[in-house]
Chains A and B, each alone.
Chain A
Amino acid sequence: MMSTPVILLKEGTDTSQGVPQLVSNINACQVVAEAVRTTLGPRGMDKLVVDNRGKATISNDGATILKLLDVVHPAAKTLVDIARSQDAEVGDGTTSVTLLAAEFLKQLKPYVEEGLHPQTIIRAFRIATQLAVKKIKEIAVTIKKDDKQEQRRLLEKCAATALNSKLIAGQKDFFSKMVVDAVMMLDDLLPLKMIGVKKVQGGALEESQLVAGVAFKKTFSYAGFEMQPKRYMNPKIALLNIELELKAEKDNAEVRVNSMEDYQAIVDAEWNILYDKLEKIHKSGAKVVLSKLPIGDVATQYFAYRNLFCAARVVEENLKRTMMACGGSIQTSVGSLTDDVLGQCELFEEVQVGGERYNFFKGCPKAKTCTIILRGGAEQFMEETDRSLHDAIMIVRRAIKNDSIVAGGGAIEMELSKYLRDYSRTIPGKQQLLIGAYAKALEIIPRQLCDNAGFDATNILNKLRAKHAQGGMWYGVDVNNEDIADNFQACVWEPSIVRINALTAASEAACLILSVDETIKNPRSSVDGPPAAAGRGRGRGRPAHAH
């Protein structure tokens, strides 16, 4: 009989399964980790990534690099996902998490190849993770919140540790102070949005400044703007969402007139409406007028004559932050410009920063917001500085919210590794080997720190193992002296939540990749078909809960 193959699935569907599939998934993850491996630690190198539009990005941040890499391999995408998750949850440690996940898989590869059932491995890993997290919680040092001085010192250390591995490590003292100052200004919720970061090209990094209040770039303005005063003491601020220009009152309104006089009256009325608005604003006593919508030249000149300052097309985010800083509320109508909807600050001024003009609102009564103005040379450099500061800010926020810390520089990993290795020796069966593998994988962090700094990793790791065995639980890599040091004394500190999240995410990802033994790839649906049809067809087949 002629045996034609049975076509089960659509033509072009690609399936692959079994252990080789698993191993190939693991290999793919190794490749991804390889890309970010060298960025870890203070001596890590930066990457220059050029995207398909030719935009160059220089970064040291694992999540940023992975995002730009545009990974398509389904298994390797998982690593990108966990880097994103780490970024979302704690903001820093994205390289560590990718490295850890890849190292877990690397350590497990021989076991998979030998035919150990992946589910057994997964179980062991889950146990190991739980143990490790418990251990971190046990040994973490709690910040004393009552002593403000103490807390501040500690937060600065955490910020400094985060900045240590970044491009701006040289200025870490300067920036860690700035970051902690910035975060301390926020209210209890510590909303990230309330810290604005503005970049102005030119000048030196040290010229960057923190403004206790709001600052934003001068907006587009019409003729007459230069006649307006640029400095006020104790001004009242009107925040508007109104277009101050001659305009149609309603889109679909129609005017029908019978006589010439009526026509003139209508024209006058339009002007009157505008002047009426302007007059109300002027009468309210506001000195500074900010609006989300355009302010035309009639209005600009009107304000100039009356010594008011106006800025139009202010971005919503800036306007909101001004509101948070100065009080008041954003008005959509000029009908009720009473005192309580106007904001206030001690000093408003327009200042030249580098080549840009900036509007500063200082001495705000409710100052729950602040702005960092970054100065620096190249555009890419400032962008990387921005990302680094973001990481540091996130770390400080986490440290305030979860008040416990551990020593960085590989110290906590070595301690966990030792703890798990000791634990594994107390249990019989396959689990022993697997938890041992987990313990070994943790050593990748100090090892990579050494490799990146050009040290002899084996030598340093041996020293570390010895120290930890003797009970020196905070000993980690000392990058400055090519040796080991008590990193707790050396003030290399990290919030414990960063490590806990990194471990959980890495092991979840490793387990997910291990648990896959088959990949089925459907051919991509043709592009010319109406996209709505595809979505609809799928929608119909899905059960009700998918809605």
Chain B
Amino acid sequence: MALHVPKAPGFAQMLKDGAKHYSGLEEAVFRNIQACKELAQTTRTAYGPNGMNKMVINHLEKLFVTNDAATILRELEVQHPAAKMIVMASHMQEQEVGDGTNFVLVFAGALLELAEELLRMGLSVSEVIEGYEMACKKALEILPDCVCSSAKNLHDLEEATAMIRSAVMSKQYGNEDFLANLIAQACVSIFPESGSFNVDNVRVCKILGCGLNSSTMLHGMVFKKEAEGDVTSVKDAKIAVFSCPFDCTVTETKGTVLIKNADELMNFSKGEEDLMEAQVKAIADSGASVVVTGGKVADMALHYANKYKLMVVRLNSKWDLRRLCKTVGATALPRLTSPTPEEMGRCDSVYLSEVGDTQVVVFKHDKEDGAISTLVIRGSTDNLMDDIERAIDDGVNTFKVLVRDARLCPGAGATEIELAKHITSYGESCPGLEQYAIKKYAEAFEALPRALAENSGVKGNELISKLYATHHEGNKNSGFDIEGEGPAVRDMMEAGILDPYLVKYWGIKLATNAAITVLRVDQIIMAKPAGGPKAPQGKKDWDEDE
């Protein structure tokens, strides 16, 4: 029998060897706060128009250059359990509104940092939580009062541009006017009268070369593909879409062709060719001039397609095929049959073109009635184009949020200071110990204009005192003027820097929830990671998309 090794007394005794266990204020709560603070510190310098980019190299050695908090976090692989909560909150924000992910991080980080002070003062965790919850409720009550304007007509290009501008500004400062205009064009053109807007309908196609200012927008879709056959341009095209390969159908069941005599052998390939020709001819006869297929294109089929002057385009992705169907109004056929007029889509022109040195197939509508629009982004490096794509993503999401709720709040710290002002006075009216927590909550709002200022090389304290002063004069729309010298303030209504109401609403709510969840933890138990081989990954189902 092995010698008995006595274990340390206490909780650890009950656990397996190698398990980690932390408890109490010092060990658990403060450590958690520390981790979240560090995380917020990283993304904080990326906040706002003057935020800096981060270079993130993920575990697959792919390089990202971005100041989009959601992307940074996704590639960072945060491991600390508490920090992960904040990351999740920011993911929620991205899924809910698609913008303002950094807002959540910075705000949650500030809340936790200030909570630490409260806890060191001697407040109990539950008192802090109670205070934060009350303050959050109050903040969301006050928030509608901060609304300074609302989008009246989103079909109007100029108005939409102005709305999107501030979202794009925080990602691509200096290019915001150009990009916002492009994005607005794309969004407005596919925004139906019925009022439902799908983010997926604005596509981005990135092509290396030239500069950002050569980017364009067009109605329809662009694929980085070459046409398969000899026909490379069709005007006023009728499009037949097939989700199957452009080939003769093969039996799924394994079988052999049984040939009994010489005649059968002689006629076999002839028969096959005739069948193929008949099929292609039937498609051509139905009036189609473009064939789009989701599978491979057989040589024989292509031969007849060329003969009957059909343009053949091959799309590998099921998603692309589905979107194309939507754009041109076609139904994807699972078998190689001749399409009925209803099943065929139409498009003003389909052509092969060269952008830079990349061959692209363009499906273009002349009028603005397509269901999908595409932004062709040009740029000198892949990283830059990826970052622009993310900026576009944010811009399109902002548009979507505005469709849901047209209210807007002033940006650049104006809303935050206004909220802080109100919550401070609310806190003073509370009798209990939670008063301290409420006041700290108000203080946490200052972190956002402070981050804006510090990223622009301006002293945060100077700016905040100035902002408070103007807000007390009743100027509730004044925020940080990023173009001014030093800590300048400006009316954000005039400057046109507006954030959607929903972004703020969800940002405050999710950040507070995340902070409270982190605070509520007083014990961390980490089991020893299991060794041995990794659990097998389930095989992909055949119908699962990539």
Listed in ascending order, the chain A residues whose CB lies under 8 Å from chain B are 1, 6-10, 13, 17, 74-75, 77-78, 81-82, 84-89, 91, 115, 117-120, 122-123, 126, 189, 191-192, 241, 249-250, 252-257, 262, 265-266, 268-270, 272-273, 329-333, 335-336, 501, 504-505, 508-509, 512, 515-525, 529-530, 532-534, 536, 538-539, 541-545, 547
Contact with A along B183-223 (1 / 0, CB 8 A): 00000000000000001100000001111110000000000
* Closest A-B pairs by Cβ, 5 of them: A504-B211, A89-B209, A505-B380, A332-B303, A81-B381
Whether the Cβ atoms of A512 and B299 lie closer than 8 Å is no
Known: A332-B302, A520-B75. 8 other contacts (CB 8 A): A7-B79, A9-B78, A82-B380, A89-B210, A252-B255, A329-B306, A504-B380, A520-B56
A541-B381 CB under 8 A given contacts A88-B208, A88-B357, A254-B258: no
Whether the Cβ atoms of A508 and B379 lie closer than 8 Å is yes
A268 to B26, CA, bound (A): 93
- Residues on the B chain within 8 Å of A84, using CB: 208
B539 to chain A, nearest CB (A): 9
> Is B61 an interface position by the 8 A CB rule?
yes
Chain A residue at minimum C-beta to C-beta distance from B49: A119
Chain A residue at minimum C-beta to C-beta distance from B392: A545
Whether the Cβ atoms of B380 and A85 lie closer than 8 Å is yes
Which residues of B (253-309) have their CB < 8 Å from a CB of A? 254-263, 265-266, 268-270, 272-273, 299-300, 302-303, 306-307
- Residues on the A chain within 8 Å of B210, using CB: 85, 89, 501, 504-505
Contact with A along B228-268 (1 / 0, CB 8 A): 00100000000000000000000000111111111101101
A266-B261 CB under 8 A given contacts A504-B211, A520-B54: yes
B136 to chain A, nearest CB (A): 26
- Sample of 12 A–B contacts (CB below 8 Å): A17-B45, A78-B383, A85-B208, A126-B174, A268-B262, A332-B303, A504-B211, A509-B384, A516-B54, A518-B55, A519-B56, A539-B546
Whether the Cβ atoms of A262 and B261 lie closer than 8 Å is yes
Whether the Cβ atoms of B83 and A8 lie closer than 8 Å is yes
A117-B78 CB under 8 A given contacts A254-B258, A508-B380, A545-B200: no
Whether the Cβ atoms of B55 and A516 lie closer than 8 Å is yes
Whether the Cβ atoms of B265 and A273 lie closer than 8 Å is yes
- Residues on the B chain within 8 Å of A265, using CB: 261-262
Whether the Cβ atoms of B540 and A536 lie closer than 8 Å is yes
Whether the Cβ atoms of A88 and B358 lie closer than 8 Å is yes
Q: Which one, B31-39, B120-128, B508-516, is touching chain A?
A: B31-39
Whether the Cβ atoms of B259 and A253 lie closer than 8 Å is yes
Whether the Cβ atoms of B381 and A330 lie closer than 8 Å is no
Q: Which of A9, A81, A257, A533 sits near B380, CB closer than 8 Å? A: A81
Whether the Cβ atoms of B300 and A89 lie closer than 8 Å is no
> Is B404 an interface position by the 8 A CB rule?
no
A66 to chain B, nearest CB (A): 13
Chain A residue at minimum C-beta to C-beta distance from B274: A335
Whether the Cβ atoms of B303 and A333 lie closer than 8 Å is yes
A423 to chain B, nearest CB (A): 18
Chain A residue at minimum C-beta to C-beta distance from B272: A250
> Is B457 an interface position by the 8 A CB rule?
yes
A266 to B256, CA, bound (A): 17
B72 to chain A, nearest CB (A): 8
A403 to B124, CA, bound (A): 75
A350 to B118, CA, bound (A): 92
Chain B residue at minimum C-beta to C-beta distance from A539: B546
Q: Please, how many residues of chain B have a CB less than 8 angstroms from a CB on the other chain?
A: 90
A263 to chain B, nearest CB (A): 10
A533 to B456, CA, bound (A): 42
> Is B475 an interface position by the 8 A CB rule?
no
Which residues of B (147-194) have their CB < 8 Å from a CB of A? 173-175
B297 to chain A, nearest CB (A): 11
A74 to B319, CA, bound (A): 32
Whether the Cβ atoms of A10 and B79 lie closer than 8 Å is yes
A523 to B75, CA, bound (A): 11
> Is B354 an interface position by the 8 A CB rule?
yes
- Residues on the B chain within 8 Å of A254, using CB: 256-259
A332 to B268, CA, bound (A): 16
Whether the Cβ atoms of B50 and A501 lie closer than 8 Å is no
A333 to B455, CA, bound (A): 69
A501 to B254, CA, bound (A): 57
> Is B133 an interface position by the 8 A CB rule?
no
A6 to B473, CA, bound (A): 44
A517-B303 CB under 8 A given contacts A8-B35, A253-B268, A273-B269: no
- Residues on the A chain within 8 Å of B208, using CB: 81, 84-85, 88-89
- Residues on the A chain within 8 Å of B261, using CB: 257, 262, 265-266
- Residues on the A chain within 8 Å of B319, using CB: 547
> Is B369 an interface position by the 8 A CB rule?
no
A434 to chain B, nearest CB (A): 13
> Is B14 an interface position by the 8 A CB rule?
no
Which residues of B (20-48) have their CB < 8 Å from a CB of A? 26, 31, 34-35, 38-39, 42, 45
Whether the Cβ atoms of B537 and A331 lie closer than 8 Å is no
Whether the Cβ atoms of B77 and A9 lie closer than 8 Å is yes
A474 to B14, CA, bound (A): 85
Chain A residue at minimum C-beta to C-beta distance from B255: A252
- Residues on the A chain within 8 Å of B543, using CB: none
Q: Which of A189, A262, A333, A534 sits near B262, CB closer than 8 Å? A: A262
Chain A residue at minimum C-beta to C-beta distance from B268: A249
A432 to chain B, nearest CB (A): 14
A117-B456 CB under 8 A given contacts A9-B76, A89-B357, A333-B300: yes
Count chain B CB atoms within 10 A of each CB in A119, A331, A525 and give the residue with the most.
Answer: A119
- Residues on the B chain within 8 Å of A249, using CB: 265, 268-269
Chain A residue at minimum C-beta to C-beta distance from B382: A81
- Residues on the A chain within 8 Å of B273, using CB: 333, 335
A515-B52 CB under 8 A given contacts A122-B174, A273-B266, A522-B75: yes
- Residues on the A chain within 8 Å of B256, using CB: 252-254
A309 to chain B, nearest CB (A): 23
- Residues on the A chain within 8 Å of B537, using CB: 530, 532-533, 536
Count chain A CB atoms within 10 A of each CB in B55, B272, B356 and give the residue with the most.
Answer: B55
> Is B16 an interface position by the 8 A CB rule?
no
> Is B465 an interface position by the 8 A CB rule?
no
Q: Which of A257, A266, A332, A543 sits near B94, CB closer than 8 Å? A: A543
A509 to B53, CA, bound (A): 13
- Residues on the B chain within 8 Å of A82, using CB: 380-381
A84 to B209, CA, bound (A): 8
Q: Which of A85, A330, A522 sits near B303, CB closer than 8 Å? A: A330
> Is B74 an interface position by the 8 A CB rule?
yes
> Is B541 an interface position by the 8 A CB rule?
no
> Is B4 an interface position by the 8 A CB rule?
no
Whether the Cβ atoms of A541 and B54 lie closer than 8 Å is no
A257 to chain B, nearest CB (A): 8
> Is B534 an interface position by the 8 A CB rule?
yes
- Residues on the B chain within 8 Å of A250, using CB: 257, 268-269, 272
Q: Which of B74, B260, B270, B381 sits near A508, CB closer than 8 Å? A: B381
Whether the Cβ atoms of A517 and B52 lie closer than 8 Å is yes
A521-B303 CB under 8 A given contacts A85-B380, A119-B456: no
> Is B494 an interface position by the 8 A CB rule?
no
- Residues on the A chain within 8 Å of B175, using CB: 126
> Is B15 an interface position by the 8 A CB rule?
no
Whether the Cβ atoms of B65 and A508 lie closer than 8 Å is no
A540 to chain B, nearest CB (A): 11
- Residues on the A chain within 8 Å of B57, using CB: 74, 519-522
A138 to chain B, nearest CB (A): 16
Which residues of B (494-546) have their CB < 8 Å from a CB of A? 534, 537, 540, 545-546
- Residues on the A chain within 8 Å of B60, using CB: 524-525, 534, 538
A505-B211 CB under 8 A given contacts A6-B31, A89-B357, A250-B268: yes
Whether the Cβ atoms of A119 and B356 lie closer than 8 Å is no
- Residues on the B chain within 8 Å of A87, using CB: 357
B97 to chain A, nearest CB (A): 12
A522-B76 CB under 8 A given contacts A82-B381, A85-B381: yes
